[in-house]
Protein backbone atom coordinates (compact mmCIF):
# COMPACT_ATOMS: atom_id res chain seq x y z
CA UNK A 1 0.00 0.00 0.00
CA UNK A 2 1.21 3.49 -0.77
CA UNK A 3 2.19 4.82 2.68
CA UNK A 4 1.52 8.46 1.85
CA UNK A 5 -1.76 8.41 -0.04
CA UNK A 6 -3.47 5.04 -0.33
CA UNK A 7 -5.91 4.56 -3.16
CA UNK A 8 -9.51 3.67 -2.38
CA UNK A 9 -8.81 0.06 -3.34
CA UNK A 10 -5.62 -0.14 -1.26
CA UNK A 11 -7.47 1.29 1.73
CA UNK A 12 -10.25 -1.28 1.32
CA UNK A 13 -7.76 -4.15 1.12
CA UNK A 14 -5.81 -2.96 4.16
CA UNK A 15 -9.00 -2.41 6.16
CA UNK A 16 -10.26 -5.89 5.40
CA UNK A 17 -6.95 -7.44 6.43
CA UNK A 18 -6.73 -5.38 9.62
CA UNK A 19 -10.34 -6.07 10.62
CA UNK A 20 -9.82 -9.81 10.23
CA UNK A 21 -6.51 -9.68 12.13
CA UNK A 22 -8.14 -7.70 14.95
CA UNK A 23 -11.11 -10.05 15.08
CA UNK A 24 -8.70 -13.02 15.38
CA UNK A 25 -6.82 -11.27 18.24
CA UNK A 26 -3.68 -11.02 16.11
CA UNK A 27 -3.43 -7.25 16.65
CA UNK A 28 -4.48 -5.11 19.60
CA UNK A 29 -7.02 -2.30 19.78
CA UNK A 30 -4.15 0.18 19.86
CA UNK A 31 -2.36 -1.26 16.82
CA UNK A 32 -5.45 -1.37 14.61
CA UNK A 33 -6.44 2.10 15.80
CA UNK A 34 -3.03 3.55 14.94
CA UNK A 35 -3.14 1.94 11.48
CA UNK A 36 -6.64 3.24 10.86
CA UNK A 37 -5.61 6.68 12.13
CA UNK A 38 -2.94 6.85 9.43
CA UNK A 39 -5.28 5.51 6.77
CA UNK A 40 -8.09 7.99 7.39
CA UNK A 41 -5.87 11.05 7.06
CA UNK A 42 -6.84 11.15 3.38
CA UNK A 43 -10.32 11.11 1.88
CA UNK A 44 -9.57 8.03 -0.26
CA UNK A 45 -8.14 6.22 2.74
CA UNK A 46 -11.16 7.09 4.86
CA UNK A 47 -13.59 6.14 2.09
CA UNK A 48 -11.90 2.77 1.67
CA UNK A 49 -11.84 2.11 5.40
CA UNK A 50 -15.52 2.91 5.88
CA UNK A 51 -16.61 1.06 2.72
CA UNK A 52 -15.24 -2.09 4.34
CA UNK A 53 -15.75 -1.52 8.05
CA UNK A 54 -19.38 -0.42 7.85
CA UNK A 55 -20.41 -3.31 5.60
CA UNK A 56 -18.53 -6.47 6.65
CA UNK A 57 -19.18 -8.79 9.58
CA UNK A 58 -16.13 -7.54 11.52
CA UNK A 59 -17.36 -6.39 14.94
CA UNK A 60 -14.87 -3.49 15.07
CA UNK A 61 -17.59 -0.97 14.18
CA UNK A 62 -19.98 -2.51 16.69
CA UNK A 63 -17.59 -2.39 19.66
CA UNK A 64 -15.70 0.85 18.98
CA UNK A 65 -12.56 0.40 21.10
CA UNK A 66 -11.57 3.61 22.92
CA UNK A 67 -8.32 3.89 20.95
CA UNK A 68 -10.30 3.76 17.70
CA UNK A 69 -12.77 6.43 18.85
CA UNK A 70 -9.79 8.65 19.70
CA UNK A 71 -8.39 8.23 16.16
CA UNK A 72 -11.76 8.79 14.50
CA UNK A 73 -12.45 11.92 16.56
CA UNK A 74 -8.95 13.22 15.79
CA UNK A 75 -9.60 12.97 12.06
CA UNK A 76 -12.42 15.47 12.37
CA UNK A 77 -14.50 16.49 9.41
CA UNK A 78 -13.30 13.77 7.01
CA UNK A 79 -14.79 11.07 9.23
CA UNK A 80 -17.94 13.06 10.02
CA UNK A 81 -18.60 13.85 6.35
CA UNK A 82 -18.10 10.29 5.11
CA UNK A 83 -20.18 8.85 7.94
CA UNK A 84 -23.05 11.28 7.27
CA UNK A 85 -23.01 10.40 3.57
CA UNK A 86 -23.00 6.68 4.42
CA UNK A 87 -25.95 7.30 6.73
CA UNK A 88 -27.86 8.97 3.90
CA UNK A 89 -27.02 6.29 1.34
CA UNK A 90 -27.81 3.35 3.60
CA UNK A 91 -31.08 4.92 4.77
CA UNK A 92 -32.19 5.44 1.18
CA UNK A 93 -31.06 1.98 0.07
CA UNK A 94 -33.07 0.29 2.81
CA UNK A 95 -36.18 1.62 1.05
CA UNK A 96 -34.96 0.44 -2.37
CA UNK A 97 -34.06 -3.02 -1.11
CA UNK A 98 -37.38 -3.33 0.74
CA UNK A 99 -39.32 -2.47 -2.44
CA UNK A 100 -37.33 -5.06 -4.39
CA UNK A 101 -37.41 -7.78 -1.71
CA UNK A 102 -33.62 -7.64 -1.86
CA UNK A 103 -31.71 -9.38 0.95
CA UNK A 104 -29.23 -6.49 0.84
CA UNK A 105 -31.76 -4.63 2.99
CA UNK A 106 -30.21 -6.19 6.11
CA UNK A 107 -26.73 -5.00 5.15
CA UNK A 108 -28.00 -1.47 4.51
CA UNK A 109 -29.73 -1.56 7.90
CA UNK A 110 -26.47 -2.62 9.59
CA UNK A 111 -24.59 0.21 7.86
CA UNK A 112 -27.22 2.72 8.97
CA UNK A 113 -27.06 1.55 12.59
CA UNK A 114 -23.26 1.65 12.59
CA UNK A 115 -23.29 5.18 11.15
CA UNK A 116 -25.76 6.37 13.77
CA UNK A 117 -23.76 4.84 16.61
CA UNK A 118 -20.48 6.28 15.31
CA UNK A 119 -21.95 9.76 14.83
CA UNK A 120 -23.06 9.70 18.48
CA UNK A 121 -19.41 9.17 19.49
CA UNK A 122 -17.79 11.83 17.30
CA UNK A 123 -17.43 15.57 17.99
CA UNK A 124 -21.02 16.64 18.62
CA UNK A 125 -20.56 20.15 17.20
CA UNK A 126 -19.10 18.85 13.94
CA UNK A 127 -21.78 16.16 13.68
CA UNK A 128 -24.64 18.59 14.32
CA UNK A 129 -23.28 21.07 11.78
CA UNK A 130 -22.89 18.35 9.12
CA UNK A 131 -26.29 16.78 9.82
CA UNK A 132 -27.94 20.21 9.62
CA UNK A 133 -26.53 20.60 6.09
CA UNK A 134 -27.95 17.22 5.06
CA UNK A 135 -31.28 17.93 6.76
CA UNK A 136 -31.55 21.21 4.87
CA UNK A 137 -31.05 19.29 1.61
CA UNK A 138 -33.90 16.92 2.51
CA UNK A 139 -36.06 20.06 2.54
CA UNK A 140 -34.86 21.01 -0.95
CA UNK A 141 -32.17 23.53 -0.03
CA UNK A 142 -28.48 23.90 0.62
CA UNK A 143 -25.10 22.42 -0.13
CA UNK A 144 -26.07 18.74 -0.04
CA UNK A 145 -28.92 19.14 -2.52
CA UNK A 146 -26.57 18.15 -5.36
CA UNK A 147 -25.55 15.03 -3.42
CA UNK A 148 -29.18 13.96 -3.00
CA UNK A 149 -30.15 14.90 -6.56
CA UNK A 150 -27.22 12.98 -8.03
CA UNK A 151 -28.63 9.75 -6.61
CA UNK A 152 -32.21 10.49 -7.68
CA UNK A 153 -33.75 9.65 -4.32
CA UNK A 154 -37.54 9.64 -4.23
CA UNK A 155 -39.70 11.24 -1.52
CA UNK A 156 -39.83 8.07 0.57
CA UNK A 157 -36.03 7.79 0.53
CA UNK A 158 -35.64 11.47 1.43
CA UNK A 159 -38.02 10.93 4.35
CA UNK A 160 -35.96 7.92 5.49
CA UNK A 161 -32.78 10.01 5.37
CA UNK A 162 -34.45 12.74 7.41
CA UNK A 163 -35.66 10.22 10.00
CA UNK A 164 -32.16 8.75 10.29
CA UNK A 165 -30.74 12.21 10.95
CA UNK A 166 -33.09 12.56 13.91
CA UNK A 167 -32.11 9.10 15.18
CA UNK A 168 -28.58 10.38 15.77
CA UNK A 169 -29.93 12.78 18.39
CA UNK A 170 -31.79 10.08 20.35
Model confidence over 36-86: pLDDT tens digits? 999 999 999 999 999 999 998 889 999 999 999 999 999 989 999 999 999
- State the pLDDT at residue 2: 46
Per-residue pLDDT at 142 exceeds 70 = yes
Dihedral angle sign, alpha carbons of residues 125, 109, 151, 42: positive
Inter-residue contact 95 to 157 (CB < 8 Å): yes
* Between 166 and 3, the higher pLDDT residue: 166
Tally of residues, the chain: 170
- State the pLDDT at residue 3: 53
Per-residue pLDDT at 135 exceeds 90 = yes
Instruction: Please report, for residues 20, 122, 130, the alpha-carbon distance to residue 11 in angstroms, rounded to integers and kept in the order given.
Output: 14, 21, 24
pTM above 0.85, yes or no: yes
Q: What is the pLDDT of residues 91-134, one digit of tens each?
A: 999 999 999 999 999 999 999 999 999 999 999 999 999 999 99
Residue from 136, 128, 20, 117 nearest 64 by CA: 117
Amino acid sequence: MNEQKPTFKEAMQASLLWCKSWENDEISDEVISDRIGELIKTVEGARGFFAVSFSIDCPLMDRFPDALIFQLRSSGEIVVDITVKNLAMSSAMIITHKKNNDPQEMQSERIKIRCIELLKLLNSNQVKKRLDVLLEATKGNGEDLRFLDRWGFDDEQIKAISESIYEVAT
